[in-house]
Structures are given as C-alpha cells and as structure tokens.
Chain A
Amino acid sequence: MLDQTEGYMTADGRQIGPVVMEMKNITLRFGGVEAIRDISFDIREGEIRAIIGPNGAGKSSMLNVISGFYVPQEGQVFYKGQPRPQMKPFEVARQGIARTFQNIALFEGMSVLDNVMTGRLTHMKTGLFTQALWRGKAEAEETKNREVAEKIIDFLEIQAIRKTPVARLPYGLKKRVELARALVAEPSLLLLDEPMAGMNVEEKEDMSRFILDVNDEFGTTIALIEHDMGVVMDLSDRVVVMDYGKKIGDGTPDEVRGNQAVIDAYLGVAHD
C-alpha cells in the first residue's frame, strides 16, 4: 500500500500527489436500510478516481458522503488530513469542492451564461449594498467573474449557446453546462455524478475528452460515478467497485478488470 503522503506515477506519466480525501470505515444507513457498509478508500491529488457498481450499489450515496451532503452514522471522512465536521453545502463549496448532479440541477429559465455565473458565487466578496450601487468594486468583480466564466465556456466549447435558455438545450449540452458551472468555482476536487448517463456514443466521447482535459489543464482532482464500464476504464487512474453497499474491488482499471468479485457482480454468478 502507498503511504498517505507519497504519490505515484500513472501509466501515462502523470505524477499523482498525496491523499486529499480519505474515507475511513464509512457506514451509512437510511432507517433500516444499509446503503453503505464499512467502506474505506482514498482520493489522491490530481487523480481521476472512479466509483463504479451496478444499479443500487450505493454509488450516489457514497458521492453524497464525499460531498458532505450525507453524514455517515459510522466512520469518518478526512479532507486534507483534517476530520470533516458536519457542514452546510456552501461551506463545502468554499473548501474547493464542486459537483454535478445525475439528474441535472440547472436553472432552466436562465441562460447558459447566467447559470455558469452562479458557479462563481463563492468567489463574490462584495455585499448587497455594493452590488446595488454597482459601479466600482462590484463591477470589477463581475468583470473578473465573467472572464473566468468565458474561459470555461471556451474550454467546453459552448460559445454558441451562451445566451440560450437552458430549458431549450438537449440533454447532452445541459450536462456540459453543469460541468461548466462546477468548473468556474475553480474547485480543487470535482465530483461528477454519472456524467455520461443518457448520452450517445459521440457525446460520451466528448465528455470523456473534457474530463481528461480538465484534469490535465487545471490539475483538478476528479471523483466520478459511472456505470458505463468502458468509459470508466479508459478514463480513470484508480477505480473503487461497489456492490450492495460493500466495496468489492479497488485498484487500477486493469486490476479491477481481472478481479473475480467484480466480474461476478457485473455478469452474475451461475447458480447450480
């Protein structure tokens, strides 16, 4: 096993840093239902870490634990070495964690640009009064935020829909807008909940390229949930496999692919 502080080198020659987030013996229950049972794993700086598993394996619950939305009954989450207390969503955002949602949570009536700009909220320092006066500080701040938003719009190639209301966009583009909103927060840890769900092959390829580019260009640590195995194996550095709330595998895509428990979970076991 790797030490907490040392990194490792990926197959394509990227240097991965020390652990930024660590799950220790996490158990999460909803009443009598045990969604996650005694799971431990870590996420290292600069890596693309995937959590996969069949439907109902507890992947989204796990992501919600990482994001701080759910507080596990047992076990602890360490972020940058510190045990994490219960937090409000905006406090999580201020820690440099941003996310997208499985079932898209954008403001449908607002334009793409406005939606993306909301992602800058944590970077806005001027108060209500200054904003109302507008000239001066607030204006400078808006200019700065718009600049960041435009860079991301350019990065994700959504210039053509900048002024389009989100409600009019197809699903694949909405997903991209959501990613844009998460990225303008300039997160150090990005959580993606099923970024490829419901996409066609071409859209999946585009999204994969964007995820790799984000990681490469901004050095963002990415944790993603996905059930499309092919995509995950191509994309991620290390994979956690879950089934029925338990961890059944953890390692590089190749290691996971050869893991019998994983094969059984995905393909089923013969009953004789």
Chain B
Amino acid sequence: MGTTPVSAGGLSSIPALLSRNSKEFANSPAYREKEFGIWQGWTWAETQTEIEALALGLIDLGLNEGDFVAVIGRNRPRLYWSMMAAQMCGAIPVPLYQDASAEEMAYTLGHCGARFVIVGDQEQVDKVIEVQADLPLFEQMIYLDPRGLRKYDHSKLHQYSHVQDAGRSKADALRPEVERRIAKLDYDSICVMLYTSGTTGKPKGVVLSNRNVIETSKSSSEFDDLRQSDDILAYLPMAWVGDFIFSVGQAVWTGFCTNCPENAETMHVDLREIGPTYYFAPPRVFETQLTNVMIRMEDAGKLKQRMFHYFMEHARKVGAGILDGKSTGLVDRAKYALGELMVYGPLKNTLGFSRVRVGYTAGEAIGPEIFDFYRSLGINLKQLYGQTEATVFITAQPDGEVRSDTVGVQCPGVELKIADNGEVFYRSPGVFVEYYKNAESTADTKDVEGWVATGDAGFIEPDTGHLRIIDRAKDVGKMADGSLFAPKYVENKLKFFPNILEAVVFGNGRTECAAFINIDLTAVGNWAERNNIGYASYQELAQHPQVLATIKAHVEDVNRSVAEDEMLSGCQVHRFVVLHKELDADDGELTRTRKVRRRIIEEKYADIITALYDGSSDVSTTTEVTYEDGRKGSISATLKMCDAAVSSVSSRMAAE
C-alpha cells in the first residue's frame, strides 16, 4: 500500500479539518443540542473556539501528548468537543459506554491507563470514583453537569466550563504549545481508540489512525453524496465506532450538522423536530417504530384504518420500485402520489423521516417486512456491513440495488475475499492499526498483507456481486448428521415476528435444534390487553397457553421457511421454551450492543437446555438477575417445554 504521512489537501487530522471548517463553513451550524426545551446551536467557527479553549485548559491541567482521555456520557456536543480537544493536545480520546457497570468501566479505564476522564454527570463521576483505587494512572476528572457535585472533593475534579475558562485566561501563554502539538499530527497519528463490545472475552481496544478515519469518512461521504447541508441525529452510544464516524469523522469531513437529543427518552420527539437527512439506526429501532405504528393504527378510527391499509398495500406493490427509479405505470404513480398526500407523507412526518435522503441499518439482519415497509414509504433505507476494525465500512448498498437479504457491494477502496471455510476477509484503508496492548489478537485478526478476518461466514452472490452473511463463523457448526448448523440464520427469522424479541437456537453437534425465546412485552402485552387476558407479571404472560400457541405457530412458520433452503434445512426448531426473563446485558447475557453471548447463556441455563433435550414436559428453574443499580436478586419459574412441527425438505407440500 502506498502510504503517505499527509493526505492530498494537507488535511491529515481532525483538528486540521476543524480549522478548515471554521473558515470555510464559519457561519454554518456544526452542532446543536436541545437544552431547556430549546435547540441551542454552535457554528463551525464557534465550535472551533470552544474546542480550542478546552484544549488549552487540558494542557493547563497537565495533559501530555500520547495520554489517553476517556470520554463517558450520552451524546452531547461538549463531549464530542472533548474528543477533538484531546486530539488537539496530541492525546488519544477513548469514548466508553456510559451504561457500563463500574466493574466494566474499571477494566477499560485500567487497560488504556487513562490519565484524564471527561464525563457527563454525577452518575459517571460516582462510577469512576468507585473504581479509582484500581486505576493508578488516573489523575483528573472533568464533568459537564455540576448538579449534585458541589460537595465533592474538587482536588481532582473540575467543571468543564471552568477548565475552558482557565484555558482562555492563559491562551497567550499556552496557544503556541497547542499549535505545536496540532502541527505534529499526521496521517499515521492515532485518531481514536474504541473498545469492541466483546461477544467473547474482554473488550479489545481498537486503535484507529487519522488515515483510517479520514479516508473512510471521505470515501463513504462520496459514496452516499453527503453534503455540507445535511443534518444527523446523534443518539447512538458514543463508544460505538459508527457514532464516531458519523458525528465526528463524516461531520468534520463534509461539515454537516450533528444534532444531539435532549436525553434518551426524548429521542423520538427530537427526531421529528430535526428531521435528519442522513439517519442511522439498528434494526431494533426500526422494528420498535413499526410495532408502534401498527399498535397505534389499531386504535385509529375505521376510516383511517381502511385508508392506511389500502394505501400501504399499494405502497408495498410499487413503492420500492418508484424509489429505485424503475419504470412504473402512470396510474400506479398517480395512486402512489395520492397515497403520499394521504398516508405516506403524514406517516413519515410523524416518524421524523420526512427529509431522510440516506438511511442505514446495520449490526443485525433486518426483517424483510420491516425493511420493505420503510422503503415502500419512499425512505431510502439501506444496509451496510461493517465493524470497528474496518472503521465501519466494509460493504454497503448503492442506491438502486437495495435488497433485504444482502449487505451490498464492497465500499470504495475495500477488497473482499472468502476463505475456504466461508469466512469473509477484507482489506481497506480503514483497517485498524492494532488492538492496544494485545499483539497476539492483532496477529490473529490481521495478517501481514493487511487482510482482516471478520469472523463472519458468508458468500458473494456471483451474478450481483453482493455479499450475503450467513452467521458468525465460530457459531456455524455441524449437526450430528453432518448438515450445516447456523443458529443466527434461524434466530433472525424468528425475531422478524413482532411478538419475538430475542431467540437463541441450540443444536451444534446434536440431532435436532431447540430454541430459547423471549417475548416482546410491548407487542404481546398489547395483544393481551386487546383480548382481555390478565397477567400479573412478565413470567405469567410468557407462559400463558395462548402466548405459547402463538409462538409455536411462529416457530412452525420459520421451520417451513428454513426447510426451503436445502443447505440449512437441518436447523429447524423441534422444541422450544419461552423464557421467564428477558436476556439482558446487565446479566452478561447480551453485549452492550445487544448481541447474544451464547456460551454464557448455555452455562447459565444448562438446566433448561437439558430439559429441552431429555423430553421433560416442564422444568423449574431459578435465575439470578442483576438490577440496574448492581444489586442482585433471583426469579423462579416453571417453564413449559413446547414441541413444534418440522417440515421435511422433500415432503414440504405433504406436510402442509
């Protein structure tokens, strides 16, 4: 690879791009945040001044080049600025998950040896103080919101605005030092370190260089024609690589505006108010929104219901085609336009999607019905495939080639290859530098030629060149009869039903598959309310005979669909159990990005798995749960094992 220390325009670091924006887009909005009920905004020029003041203050506090600065909190402009201020000082920002427990935080803070920690509020301050005894390198903490912190010992604790004030007052003395440090940044300097969520084992610190971030931001912005006038809503965890690329990388590259919601609960209201033009959400968010729309429609008047269903049916027929620019009959077009006026337009407005030009979903497979619903409304929702190690982008769907079952073609600059065992490998300018303090894992993941193993099994469709992902490579196994076992494939099909929130399929090395299922309390609860079914608790609802019957019907539907795929027909679910508690990241069953941790679930619920396979009709079990504040409790329940009919490949017709 031809590596130059400086990019074409001399813009080889985030601070350099920031400085360009403060001149070129001086009066355009850079960041907005809703506070006290009003959207407060900062232009690029103001943003530059704010960040510089903080950088000066950080140097005044003794921040050195090469130090790690942990940033913890919800999406707020000042925390994004903290990351950029750290870069100005030659330090490395490390955003961490704000909902991580103190213990998890202790690990990451200790691993990177952060000297400075910048946090949102008292909750984070308390967490860091709780674990600071284990952090010999930790020195200073800076917080944004002073509420409740007045009586704290302020020898190592500083208010954000005070740090900025100190920086401003000493600007003349310290500015040369900041300028010197900024000038030293080049394309190979470290831009950011992000911790992976850790589906297995401890989180790993992925080191990304300016090259990784800027090259990726540049090519992805061009791929989707992102513009300076775009608006995004920053609401996904700051510790997640996607948020860093959207709200920092692409934002400084194209100069678009990043909008931060008032708090997590107001996200949907803020989404409507901002009406982003470029939007990203994991499938779960789209699912929840669709479920809400459907529930609300059931409460609507008869006329509205009929209108909704009439036009939605038409949209399903022609909407996606119109979006892709396919030729559509004049009558259909006219009817679609009427639908836009009566249903689609108002609905998009309610959802906050009126202005969306480019929308992405990734992280998990999205249900085809859900995906098609949004596309048929005229929302350009696409899928992308990526990971932290690639600085997000590996493949994405170009406009006009969007399907729910592929993740698109390789992004500009990315090369793909499929190994013999089906694992997907890639090489790109976005490929990470290393896992911090973990040369062994770095070598396992990235070979000398720069090829990175994704850990996912997939294949490239010969005629379209689109990549299709089947499952995590390490989860793909063999059934006892030697046929392929791909749990995720089946789980995704199960999760596409609104009633099913989460599913875990077992069967590796066994003769048949069995599954754990979590009901979706919103959808099932609403159904129970409509049908006058009383329940006292989640457990009771989950074990209600009618709920079990509904889930059984869903499982059998999935079995029919799985049977159609010859390669995977062995993965049909023979027996299942509806769990008495939701799988939860606080209990270690899911990662913070809500991915299933199979090994832990297998160990924790060994008794239930045994019952699924030994033919028992039910099992009594007690499960330990962790509450949000870290206290532990337990839930006991008797769970019924349910059988589901399976379809055989050859006698599929007969089975029906």
Q: Which residues does A use to contact B, with CB under 8 Å? A: 12-13, 146-147, 150-151, 153-155, 157, 159-160, 162-163, 202, 205, 213, 216-217
Q: A159-B263, A159-B266 are contacts. A13–B36 as well, Cβ < 8 Å?
A: no
Chain A hits for B265, CB < 8 A: 159-160
**Residues B397-420 near A (CB distance < 8 A):** none
**Residues B567-584 near A (CB distance < 8 A):** none
Chain B hits for A159, CB < 8 A: 37, 262-263, 265-266
B147 within 8 A of A: yes
Summarize A's interface: helix, strand, loop or mixed.
Answer: helix
Q: Do A155 and B37 touch across chains, with their CB atoms under 8 A apart?
A: no
B632 within 8 A of A: no
Q: A-B contact count, CB below 8 Å?
A: 36
Q: Do B263 and A147 touch across chains, with their CB atoms under 8 A apart?
A: no
The chain A residue sitting closest to B263, CB to CB, is A159
CB < 8 Å neighbour of B263 from A155, A157, A205, A216 = A157
The chain A residue sitting closest to B264, CB to CB, is A160
Q: Do B37 and A160 touch across chains, with their CB atoms under 8 A apart?
A: no
B474 within 8 A of A: no
Summarize B's interface: helix, strand, loop or mixed.
Answer: loop
Q: Do A216 and B36 touch across chains, with their CB atoms under 8 A apart?
A: no
Q: Do A150 and B263 touch across chains, with their CB atoms under 8 A apart?
A: no
Q: Do B269 and A147 touch across chains, with their CB atoms under 8 A apart?
A: no
B329 within 8 A of A: no
* B536–chain A nearest beta-carbon distance, Å: 14
Q: Do A216 and B35 touch across chains, with their CB atoms under 8 A apart?
A: no
Chain B hits for A162, CB < 8 A: 37
A sample of 12 more A-B contacts (CB under 8 A), given A157-B263, A216-B151, is: A146-B37, A150-B37, A150-B38, A151-B36, A154-B35, A155-B147, A159-B263, A162-B37, A213-B147, A213-B148, A216-B148, A216-B150
CB < 8 Å neighbour of A153 from B37, B148, B629 = B37
With most chain B CB atoms within 10 A of its CB, the pick from A146, A154, A160, A216 is A160
Compute how far the CA of A160 lies from the CA of B268 in the bound complex, rounded to whole angstroms.
9
Chain B hits for A216, CB < 8 A: 148, 150-151
* A20–chain B nearest beta-carbon distance, Å: 22
The chain B residue sitting closest to A12, CB to CB, is B151
State the interface size on chain B (CB cutoff 8 A): 15
Chain B hits for A151, CB < 8 A: 36
Compute how far the CA of A271 lies from the CA of B262 in the bound complex, rounded to whole angstroms.
59
Chain B hits for A146, CB < 8 A: 37
**Residues B128-158 near A (CB distance < 8 A):** 147-148, 150-151
Q: Do A150 and B36 touch across chains, with their CB atoms under 8 A apart?
A: yes
**Residues B238-294 near A (CB distance < 8 A):** 262-263, 265-266, 269
The chain A residue sitting closest to B268, CB to CB, is A160
| Contact sample, A vs B, 17 pairs, CB 8 Å cutoff | A146-B37, A150-B36, A150-B38, A151-B36, A153-B37, A154-B35, A154-B36, A159-B37, A159-B265, A160-B262, A162-B37, A163-B269, A213-B147, A213-B148, A216-B148, A217-B148, A217-B150
Chain A hits for B269, CB < 8 A: 160, 163
Chain A hits for B38, CB < 8 A: 150
Compute how far the CA of A146 lies from the CA of B269 in the bound complex, rounded to whole angstroms.
19
With most chain A CB atoms within 10 A of its CB, the pick from B37, B148, B628 is B37
Compute how far the CA of A163 lies from the CA of B629 in the bound complex, rounded to whole angstroms.
30
**Residues B145-176 near A (CB distance < 8 A):** 147-148, 150-151
Compute how far the CA of A45 lies from the CA of B37 in the bound complex, rounded to whole angstroms.
32
Q: Do A160 and B263 touch across chains, with their CB atoms under 8 A apart?
A: yes
Compute how far the CA of A90 lies from the CA of B263 in the bound complex, rounded to whole angstroms.
35
The chain B residue sitting closest to A154, CB to CB, is B36
The chain A residue sitting closest to B631, CB to CB, is A201
* B260–chain A nearest beta-carbon distance, Å: 13
Chain B hits for A217, CB < 8 A: 147-148, 150
Q: Do A147 and B36 touch across chains, with their CB atoms under 8 A apart?
A: yes
6 closest A-B pairs by beta carbon, nearest first, are: A160-B265, A150-B36, A160-B266, A150-B37, A159-B262, A159-B266
* B268–chain A nearest beta-carbon distance, Å: 9
